[in-house]
Structure 1
């Protein structure tokens, strides 16, 4: 880890869960004045998340200057306009859905979310599962058959909830299907399946080109395996203290944990001119 201070930051991308958000899954109140001052200074802030765009937009509202990297990099949206969309290879959808159905029927606590550009779709409707899904998907429909729903939307991602063994069971099992897809462990209980090469880092690079901002003018924050490429795409990468060990090893800097408002602390340390009027 280096201790140098970024000099000319024009773009800041941050993961949400486990990184920016607090223990209750909320944006810390201390972040809002920092965000307002970032935007006033012409610095682009990018929520970069596995959450869908509709969910992120509901959290941040209609602030001009925000760009969203949603669905783990498969959907980039600026001012309500889609900049880039990465849909899954259609042939992967049925095999993944059928694997989840059969594995759940054998007793595993699994559920699938088919993540479309318009809405997310689930067919498991018990209260416990829906409670796990709803925080990430503001646009959510419970349907009889997610495969039928797939035909009427652009499918950006398939997300599998595994209550106990996402990294050791679901991830390896889906990889073993040999499908043309990238399989990413995006949280303790979540596995995401996307188009090959689609990730937060690729999206950040696309955004840098779109905005004319360089890698060295970019900060990025993350905590989990789906943040690997995001950190690689930023000249100034930060792992929060609670991050997965491989992410801590990957990042150039370490930030305090999400519980200690590590994103806020690190932004103000790197850009001290934002701090004086915050008190």
Structure 2
């Protein structure tokens, strides 16, 4: 909103970030997690897990691009049994790189935060019953109410604080949810707030993620693509939600932007391809084409 704060690649990272030549047959495969790779219970099908292993063995480069926090993303990786070199978390506000010496096996390579105080005040006025979570630049959360543990962090780790405590420091993202609220009514209320200078990503329910302006999965994935040296026509992205719109537009501009069969019309419209639904192992179908 008022000021954008950026942490960029440090000089010490230069060796890890040099431009790499790629084999012409390799693809950068960017995949969403929830609704694309895993179901509501956090499970990936045997077919999906098998294809994820196969594309790695075939020399393709997997990139996880998710709205999940770092902590909840890492728990999914344990289940699907993949360890990509790079992860995009919090809808693009965080890029992680695999590092054996770091906690959880990944270190924060880049974060992008902003002053969210004006956004939070607007939410308090227009959505007084909303549940709010704020993720800071270190990956810690503060909450006004408990949140589903799969989205941010385990319930026992959630710190419930007064609204005023949310205003302290810089923010990676603000998560706003209103349980029981009609989705259409929630969206109209958010639109009436007329938020500027930020990026808003709606969920399937009365839920919205708010990040710094320009922060999307696509923007972060483009950073990773440039570092790895992939051509734009060797990029494949697969997603199923509103927060995947920019990602599929980015991939589909020269490569392949694939929407899951159960995706909303807004995503199907920008996709270059459509695959099966989650229950139909749509992701496995796409990966099998590589």
1:163 aligns with 2:188: no
2:258/2:271 contact within 8 Å kept: yes
1:236 aligns with 2:256: yes
1:103 aligns with 2:124: no
Deviations 1:188-211 (A, max 9, x none): 232111111111111111111121
Q: Residues 91 and 24 of structure 1: is their aligned pair in 2 closer, same or farther, counting only changes over 3 Å?
A: closer
SS in structure 2 of the partner of residue 198 of structure 1: coil
1:137 aligns with 2:190: no
**For residue 226 of structure 1, what is the aligned residue in structure 2?**
243
Distance 1:193 1:111 in 2: 14
1:209 aligns with 2:234: no
**For residue 63 of structure 2, what is the aligned residue in structure 1?**
46
Q: Which moves more between the two structures, 61-70 or 79-88?
A: 61-70
What are the residue-to-residue correspondences of 1:48-87 with 2, within 5 Å? 48-61=65-78, 63-79=82-98, 80-87=106-113
Q: Which runs of 5+ in 1 are unaligned?
A: 1-6, 105-109, 272-279
Q: Which has the higher helix share?
A: 1
1:114/1:146 contact within 8 Å kept: no
**For residue 274 of structure 1, what is the aligned residue in structure 2?**
none
Distance 2:60 2:164 in 1: 41
SS in structure 1 of the partner of residue 49 of structure 2: helix
- What is the CA distance between 1:150 and its match in structure 2? 5.1
For the aligned residue pairs, the C-alpha RMSD in angstroms reads: 2.4
**For residue 246 of structure 1, what is the aligned residue in structure 2?**
266
- What is the CA distance between 1:228 and its match in structure 2? 0.7
**For residue 119 of structure 1, what is the aligned residue in structure 2?**
140
Distance 1:190 1:66 in 2: 30
- What is the CA distance between 1:138 and its match in structure 2? 2.5
**For residue 216 of structure 2, what is the aligned residue in structure 1?**
199
Distance 2:248 2:29 in 1: 11
SS in structure 1 of the partner of residue 41 of structure 2: coil
- What is the CA distance between 1:13 and its match in structure 2? 0.9
1:240/1:258 contact within 8 Å kept: yes
Q: Residues 40 and 99 of structure 1: is their aligned pair in 2 closer, same or farther, counting only changes over 3 Å?
A: farther
* TM-score, normalised by the number of residues in structure 2: 0.77
- What is the CA distance between 1:143 and its match in structure 2? 2.0
Distance 1:210 1:147 in 2: 40
1:170/1:191 contact within 8 Å kept: no
Q: Which moves more between the two structures, 78-87 or 88-97?
A: 88-97
* Paired positions, count: 251
**For residue 287 of structure 2, what is the aligned residue in structure 1?**
267
1:76/1:203 contact within 8 Å kept: yes
1:88 aligns with 2:124: no
Q: Which runs of 5+ in 2 are unaligned?
A: 1-23, 99-105
1:22/1:258 contact within 8 Å kept: yes
Distance 2:229 2:163 in 1: 39
SS in structure 2 of the partner of residue 113 of structure 1: strand
